[in-house]
């Protein structure tokens, strides 16, 4: 029989114990590990029963380590840190010359992919893996080195490398306004179906805030359709369902291909619309730095020409 299996405490209880000891709270440990507080309590109770000692004093809603708990906490924390360091070293060796870019879906499809060959021409030895999401960094469970997302979305502990501008203006399909006098005025716009993008918390400029920047308000009773992500809203505009808020970085190729048009002259520039982050794990990898510099060159060398 393996002597370790008999002597070790339940391994599944060590992460909950370490988190509760470090944070001084079962509820905060539960949030961090995406478990319920009852599950944390159950794991720690099982650990205490296995060891035959109390690890925490529970007073009101707070928990405090006992001397035995403090001793075990130091041992477990050091062991987990060693395991983490070793695992990250192995991961680094397995992904040498590879860099993972996490990108919002629309930017990946309409802005990044047409340009990615330029990066490969400059850095043929680096393999780019593109991962897409419509959620903020704090809700992404996978691995990445560099991330591009809208400024304002939650980013967690990752370091901001730089920001880039964008420009916001209405877009629709040519067929949607066939026969209408162009360009539309801001008053004319509100006689049409306006396509909205809603998230919680909000992180993109919407019709109400866009119109306010131009000294107008969104009229009550304006026809609308609401979508829970920007790519779907943009596709609805392409299909002729109404007029959407278009962002230059993602809408320009659709305009160039005549899938979309700009029905009015007004636009709003946003100097810090996009944010590029570097993962806190290893921000100084040469592959990571090369990708960040390329993104900086492309984004800041391709600033939308905006006017209000």
Torsion of CA 80, 85, 87, 91, to 10 degrees: 150
Query: How much is the pLDDT for 208?
Result: 92
Specify whether the CB–CB gap between 65 and 73 falls below 8 A: yes
CATH class of 166-271: alpha beta
What pLDDT digit, counting tens, does each position of 108-158 carry? 999 999 999 999 999 999 999 999 988 889 888 888 999 999 998 889 899
Which residues are within 8 A (CB) of 166 and not within 5 positions of it... i.e. 6 or more apart?
247, 248, 249, 269, 270, 273, 274, 304
CATH fold, domain 3-94, is Arc Repressor Mutant, subunit A (1.10.10)
Looking at the DSSP bridge assignments, the partners of residue 227 are 197
What pLDDT digit, counting tens, does each position of 156-176 carry? 899 999 999 999 999 999 999
Specify whether the CB–CB gap between 274 and 148 falls below 8 A: yes
Span 100-157+276-300 CATH architecture: 3-Layer(aba) Sandwich (3.40)
Answer yes or no: same fold for 3-94 and 100-157+276-300: no
pTM of the model: 0.67
Over 80: is that where the pLDDT of 56 sits?
A: yes
Which of 255, 259, 258, 257 has the alpha carbon at shortest distance from 267? 255
Which of 64, 39, 49, 54 has the alpha carbon at shortest distance from 10? 49
d(CA 145, CA 292): 10
What pLDDT digit, counting tens, does each position of 171-221 carry? 999 999 988 888 999 999 999 999 998 876 667 789 999 999 999 999 888
Domain range list for the chain: 3-94, 100-157+276-300, 166-271
Torsion of CA 262, 193, 153, 136, to 10 degrees: -110
Q: H helices within 162-257, ranges in order? A: 186-189, 207-213, 230-238, 248-256
Over 60: is that where the pLDDT of 308 sits?
A: no
């Amino acid at each position: 029989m393996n002597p370790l299996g008999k002597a070790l405490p339940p391994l599944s209880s060590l992460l909950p114990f370490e988190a509760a000891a470090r944070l001084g709270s079962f509820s905060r440990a539960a949030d961090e590990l995406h478990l319920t507080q009852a599950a944390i309590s159950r794991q720690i109770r099982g650990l205490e029963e296995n060891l035959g000692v109390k690890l925490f004093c529970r007073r009101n809603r707070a928990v405090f380590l006992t001397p035995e708990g403090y001793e075990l906490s130091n041992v477990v924390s050091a062991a987990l840190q060693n395991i983490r360091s070793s695992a990250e070293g192995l991961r680094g060796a397995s992904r040498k010359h590879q860099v993972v870019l996490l990108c919002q879906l629309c930017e990946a499809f309409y802005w990044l992919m047409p340009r990615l060959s330029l990066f490969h021409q400059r850095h043929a030895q680096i393999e780019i893996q593109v991962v897409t999401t419509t959620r903020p960094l704090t809700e992404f469970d996978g691995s990445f080195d560099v991330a591009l997302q809208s400024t304002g979305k939650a980013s967690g502990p990752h370091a901001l490398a730089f920001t880039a501008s964008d420009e916001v203006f209405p877009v629709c399909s040519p067929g949607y306004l066939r026969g209408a006098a162009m360009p539309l005025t801001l008053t004319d716009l509100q006689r049409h179906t306006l396509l909205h993008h809603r998230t919680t918390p909000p992180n993109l400029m919407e019709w109400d805030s866009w119109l306010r920047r131009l000294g107008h308000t969104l009229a009550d009773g304006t026809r609308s359709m609401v979508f829970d992500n920007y790519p779907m809203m943009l596709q609805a505009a392409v299909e002729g369902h109404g007029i959407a808020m278009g962002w230059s970085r993602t809408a320009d190729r659709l305009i160039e291909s005549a899938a979309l048009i700009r029905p009015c002259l007004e636009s709003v520039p946003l100097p810090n619309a996009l944010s590029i982050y570097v993962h806190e794990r290893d921000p100084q990898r040469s592959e990571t730095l090369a990708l960040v510099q390329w993104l900086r060159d492309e984004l800041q060398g391709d600033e939308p020409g905006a006017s209000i």
